[in-house]
Amino acid sequence: MIFIKLSFAGGLILFLIAWSVAYINLADVNELLVIHFDYFKGANFFGTKQTVFAVLAVGLLILLVNFFLSRVFYFRERSLAYVFAGVSFFAALLILAQIIVIMNTNL
Tell me the average confidence (pLDDT) per consecutive run of 10 residues in the chain, 107 residues long: 90 94 89 84 85 92 92 89 92 93 86
- Amino acid of residue 101: V
| Whole-number pLDDT of residue 31 | 87
| Whole-number pLDDT of residue 66 | 92
| Whole-number pLDDT of residue 105 | 85
Q: Which residues contact 35 (CB under 8 A, 6 or more apart)?
A: 45, 46, 47, 51, 52, 102
| Whole-number pLDDT of residue 39 | 81
| Whole-number pLDDT of residue 45 | 84
| Whole-number pLDDT of residue 95 | 93
Answer yes or no: are the C-beta atoms of 59 and 99 closer than 8 Å. Answer: no
CA 61-100-81 angle, to 5 degrees, is 35
Q: Which residues contact 32 (CB under 8 A, 6 or more apart)?
A: 46, 47, 48
| Whole-number pLDDT of residue 30 | 85
| Whole-number pLDDT of residue 17 | 95
| Whole-number pLDDT of residue 93 | 95
Give dist(CA 55, CA 95) in Å, integer. Answer: 8
The pTM for the full model equals: 0.86
